[in-house]
Chains A and B, each alone.
Chain A
Amino acid sequence: MKIAVLVKQVPSSESMLPLSSDQTWIDEGQVSFVMNPPDSFAIEEALLLREKIGEGEVVIVSMGPERVKKTIKEGLAKGADRGIHLEEEGKIETDPLSNSKSFSSVLKEENFDLILTGLQSDDTGMGQTGVLLGELLGMSTATLAMETEVQGDSIRVKRELESGWFQWVKLPLPASISIQSGLNTPRYPSLKGIMGAKRKEIKCVSSAEHRSGAQTQFMEKVFVPQTSKQTEVIEGDADTAVARIIEILKSDIKVL
């Protein structure tokens, strides 16, 4: 079984996020980047599948500038077999479709049986790349997997639906599946894994090689939500106050 895991590097949740001067993204200079936390569940699921089946290959695939190598290496240290780095200096956060096209151009000849992604990235939370890539490669797709079970040349997936409902679906392989966070307990890179990762191959594909066509979505403006306080002091006796409060609840806040 050949499994690719799409992994993204995102600003850590504790990082300060100063806006860039043109306000189209953040100023990355002061940010510390980490592996997108939902993706670590996808890696773990891939490693568990490989362990269960007893053979196969897990490949970490990521896109971004040089710094994402660190995240790929983290996956390799956890036990993945090799990595593919799609180099890209431009802004990749905004455009899942062009990104998926890039991924599909590189992954096409690899013929993966399974592509796993985290449920979404913690930066922009689009949650589309895995599904789009699956479509582009002609794979079956499913989202929000809570449990996976490979059966011959198909995979059974327990999907999370709304309000506590679940659904079991059976997909023919190859398939692209996004993994719900919390379905497993991601491992920590062992010392041996870290040492071993140094010898593992990371294939680099330059932007010119994988990019085709222009971006289809752009970031207009990012801004910090403004909070404002509106205080109204209600004067008068109890009856007037109650009347006014009811009016506010009805017409302003609309909870009555």
Chain B
Amino acid sequence: MHFSIIEKVILAGLTLASLGSFGYEVFRRVAIVNKGTGSFPFDRIPERLFRVFREVFLHEKVIRERPFPGLMHALVFWGFLVFGLVTIDHFAIGFYKPIMSESAHHAYSYIVIPFAILVIFGIVSLAYRRFITRPKALGGMSPTSGLVAVFIVVLMGTYIYGETGLSPLVWKINWWVHSVIILAFMYLIPRSKHLHLVLGPFNIFFRSFSQPDHTPVHIDLEGDEDELDAMLNDLTKLTKNQALDIFSCVECGRCTDVCPANRGGGILDPKHHFIMDLRQPLLDGKDVSVLDQINIEAGWECTTCQACTEVCPVGNHVEKSDEIRRLEVLVEGRVPQEYQKLFTNLQETGNTEGASSSPFADSFPVFTADKEYVLWLGCFARHGLDPNFNKSVENFTKILDVAGVTYGVLAEEQCSGDPANRLGDKLTYTMLREHNLEQLSETKKVVTLCPHCALNLGKEYSQYDQINYTVEHHTQVIGRLIDEGKIKVKMGESGKVTYHDPCNLSRMLDIVDEPRTAIKAASSDFQEMDESGRNTLCCGAGGALWWKKETKGRTHLVRAEQVIESGADTVVTGCNFCFGMMKQGLGPMTPEGREEVIVKDVADIVAENLVYDL
């Protein structure tokens, strides 16, 4: 096929304009991202590449959460991959000559044409969903989405039409239509959510392996005031990774769909409050100092459960309550009254309740160097936030006793700092952390029943200081004792049993199997809840919401409702806060005439079914 010089000039002009504009818009955003604090991670590259393979090429997360639309999108995506070569060849024809031989082109079309049909099917389904079904999560009308859908259909159509042996004139018109649409698409991509197809793979590559992932706040009250000013100033800035998130978001609304605060009727909408609300300010200000734009009320509602982060298909760390809360606390001094009380308690007494002693803690042996584990109780157990939980702690020590594992509590244990940390009071957190690290300086092994303590003593403290001990959650210890045959457990009579995964355990510490090992050893009738493992739903107590006085929503009841609907007789959990929250929620939610679901800790169900005569 011959292209005249005029045609080539026009083609070159259009291509330059389209690519130039594409490049400019992408560059503009990358330049802003580059102003972010911190740096992009380049460690663990094989793992990162493998993750890109699973999440980009296999579309693992895109499909898992929304199977049908996810699959439809996969068709579009895979189709585009196949089309890569076709597109290069397409422009090569216009500028010079085809890079594929006639026969290769023909042979390849046997692959491409079926894909083109699948792409049409996929994009029409996506458009149907967006414009006819209109799920709330996708947001309002989006003309660009409509335009892109039409573009893609016409692209596929013109490709197939072009393969049907047209007369030269019709072929050429068809060719030009195809070209112009590709170039128009290029123009559109960086200006819309469709930028995800460029940034998504990079964003998934750079995503942190650990969540929650917030820049630690180092506070030195004795230090230089200018340094402090600089540090406070940085608190409004996004990191590079966070800035990339904002431009990668595809506005799918999965994060909001899974958000417990949103599901419970709160105002928090992570898609908007933590991501989209920051996009325009980034572009307008050409800078990353935008964290103060986050809706404050929404920020206080977050349970910090990380469901949003877990589910995001383009690899965003969605949750930013830490960022807005630390600004409110450290810079503005605007703190809800109940939390001020909590902070004062923590500062004055080292525990959340302001208690001057703990008779419960005194009932355990004190840790000495000859003992294997420090049994870390946490404020919840020490100060009876739910006195029923005392029994669970005793059940755990019973298991340790039977297995011959030695342990003791620390007399000077203070709050791990989880509530202060999550509420943004990094100063109080610093005080508690420094105190506890001193107490633990000679310790090798810590075990605790509180996942919040486990997370803080381990992963969170080590962001600040070197720690010389290991932290285990009691379900890990119990699971191991069972596996190693150190304790024997018989099938018990707990009826239908289900397990509620605590967010801190499953998503943040990746402890999913061990509690199940323990429960299944003690129950033959175990059933998973619909939302389980890393996709669990928060009980509503996380992010120090346990201490929040008024909540508009009913975040704390949604999970309890699910437990009742699951038909279980017993719900087992592995977190003191979940335990307390379940107990509070299940009572009022239980319908007339039904037995209230019994709440147990993993330690309870195991201890109740221990076989002693080994």
Contact = CB atoms under 8 A, between A and B. Distances in A.
A188 B232 CA distance: 16
Contacts of B219: 191
B334 A195 contact: no
A192 B331 contact: yes
Contact of A34 (B232, B331, B333, B348): B348
Interface string A32-60: 11100000000000000000000000000
B335 A188 contact: yes
Nearest to B334: A187
Nearest to B383: A14
Interface in B337-393: 337, 340, 343-345, 348-349, 353-357
Nearest to B339: A188
A12 B228 contact: no
Contacts of B345: 12, 14
Given A15-B354, A32-B349, A193-B333, A186 B340 contact: yes
A171 B225 CA distance: 43
A189 B333 contact: yes
A16 B353 CA distance: 12
Interface string B205-235: 0000000000000010100010011001000
Interface residues of B, number: 26
A51 to B, nearest CB: 13
Contact of B333 (A12, A78, A195): A78
Given A186-B337, A186-B340, A13 B354 contact: yes
A195 B219 CA distance: 11
A188 B343 contact: yes
B383 to A, nearest CB: 10
Nearest to B235: A191
Interface string A161-191: 0000000000000000000000001111111
A30 interface: yes
Contacts of A187: 333-335
Contacts of A13: 354
Nearest to A77: B333
Contacts of A186: 337, 340
Contacts of B353: 14
Contacts of A192: 228-229, 232, 331
Nearest to A189: B333
A189 B343 CA distance: 11
Contacts of A12: 344-345, 348-349, 354
A14 B355 CA distance: 6
A194 interface: yes
A190 B332 contact: yes
A103 to B, nearest CB: 26
A15 to B, nearest CB: 6
A31 to B, nearest CB: 8
B330 interface: yes
B447 interface: no
Contact of A30 (B232, B334, B356, B427): B356
Contact of B228 (A15, A16, A78, A195): A195
Given A34-B344, A195-B225, A188 B334 contact: yes
Q: In the complex, which range does the number of interface residues on chain A fall in? A: 20 to 34
A78 to B, nearest CB: 7
Nearest to B336: A185
B119 to A, nearest CB: 54
Contacts of B343: 188
A239 to B, nearest CB: 37
Contacts of A34: 344, 348
Contacts of B427: 191, 194
Nearest to B340: A188
B221 A195 contact: yes
Which residue, B333, B337, B348, has most C-beta atoms of chain A within 10 A? Answer: B333
B329 to A, nearest CB: 6
Which residue, A185, A188, A192, A193, has most C-beta atoms of chain B within 10 A? Answer: A188
Nearest to B425: A188
Given A13-B354, A14-B355, A32-B349, A188 B225 contact: no
Contacts of A33: 348
Interface in A187-226: 187-195
Contacts of A14: 345, 349, 353-356
A121 B519 CA distance: 53
B339 to A, nearest CB: 8
A143 B609 CA distance: 64
Nearest to B219: A191
Contacts of A191: 219, 228, 232, 330-331, 427
B356 A16 contact: yes
A27 to B, nearest CB: 12
Nearest to B351: A14
A187 B339 CA distance: 11
Nearest to A35: B344
A13 B355 CA distance: 10
A188 B354 contact: no
B167 to A, nearest CB: 76
A31 B356 CA distance: 8
Nearest to A30: B356
Contacts of A195: 221, 225, 228
A31 B348 CA distance: 10
A185 B357 CA distance: 31
Contacts of A189: 333
Given A34-B348, A192-B232, A16 B357 contact: yes
Contacts of B334: 187-188
Given A14-B345, A16-B357, 17 more contacts: A12-B354, A13-B354, A14-B354, A16-B356, A30-B356, A32-B349, A32-B356, A187-B334, A188-B329, A188-B333, A190-B329, A191-B330, A191-B331, A191-B427, A192-B331, A194-B221, A195-B225
Ranked 4 nearest A-B pairs via Cβ:
A14-B354, A190-B333, A188-B335, A191-B330
9 contacts: A12-B354, A13-B354, A14-B345, A14-B355, A32-B354, A33-B348, A34-B348, A186-B340, A192-B228
